[in-house]
Amino acid sequence: MNVSQALIERKSVRAFLNQPVALEDVRKILEFARKTPSGTNTQPWTVAVVSGETKQKLDAALVRAFREGAPKKLDYNYYPSSLPLAMKHRRLACGLQMYQTLGITRQDQDKRLLQWEQNYSAFGAPVVLYFFINKLVDKGSFMDCGMFLQSVMLMATELGLSSCAQAALAEYPDIVREHLGYSDDNLVLCGLALGYEDTTALINSYRTAREEVDVFAKFFA
């Protein structure tokens, strides 16, 4: 598989097979992803590979926090208080497409909550990668981590694995740090569900649209 194929085939998967992922494959993914560039080679990322009993306990704690209505408090602002209109429209269309695919109406809040709850168990993926960054860094290092995350997802695709990058898994950062033994110096960036796609699951049947190049790019000569 070449890079262009991996870019086309990668998608956010939200239902996984009950099939284990070899930790040797996770290590291979990280071996290649560590080549990701970063400003002045700072390599600001830290990764926790979570599976088995540890994942089960952490999943249960996150689901419980969501069900009990615990306040969500990301370690950083993922979205601004007000999005530009075009971005807002794309965001709304993304959520609408998912719920329409599942046949869940806007009025059916119970089903919407049940679907959203699946975020906190990483959609049943056998492995979750949690990404951390030191609290002293600034915006440039967040950009570095974004490139690192993309490298991980593309390598996973090459190995026949599927993934879903999830900010939701960072909504209760104190729970994540407590279960994994990380100090408050480590901001929780996101989680990445990793496993084998359940190709029969309806939720995996749609793809979100991307803007054409001429919409977001200008060429100067």
pLDDT tens, position by position, 84-110: 999 999 999 999 999 999 999 989 999
- Banded model confidence at residue 23, pLDDT cuts 50, 70, 90: very high
Indicate the DSSP class of residue 60. H
Q: Is residue 216 part of a domain?
A: no
- Residue 131 CA to its chain's centroid (Å): 10
On whether residue 170 sits in a domain, the answer given is yes
Domain limits for position 166: 3-79+120-206
With respect to residue 95, please indicate whether it lies within any of the assigned structural domains. Answer: no
Q: How far apart are CA 51 and CA 49, in angstroms?
A: 7
Instruction: Report if residue 147 sits inside a domain.
Output: yes
- Which pLDDT band, with edges at 50, 70 and 90, does 51 fall under? very high
What does the pLDDT read at residue 124?
97
Range list of H helices, the chain? 3-9, 23-33, 52-67, 85-102, 109-117, 139-158, 173-180, 213-216
Q: Is residue 186 part of a domain?
A: yes
Query: pLDDT grade, residue 191 (50/70/90)?
Result: very high
Beta carbons of 201 and 15 less than 8 angstroms apart: yes
Mean pLDDT of 50-72: 98
**What is residue 108's predicted lDDT score, i.e. its pLDDT?**
92
Radius of gyration of the chain (CA): 18
What's the pLDDT score for residue 40? 97
User: Does residue 101 fall inside a structural domain?
Assistant: no
Can you say whether the dihedral through the CA atoms of 80, 188, 93, 66 is positive or negative?
A: negative
What CATH number did the domain enclosing 166 receive?
Answer: 3.40.109.10
The verdict on residue 220 lying in a domain is: no
**37 — pLDDT class (breaks 50, 70, 90):** very high
CA dist 179 and 192 (Å) reads 17
Determine the Cα–Cα distance for residues 210 and 132; give it in Å rounded to an integer: 28
CB 198 within 8 A of CB 15: yes
Per the structure, how many domains does the chain have? 1
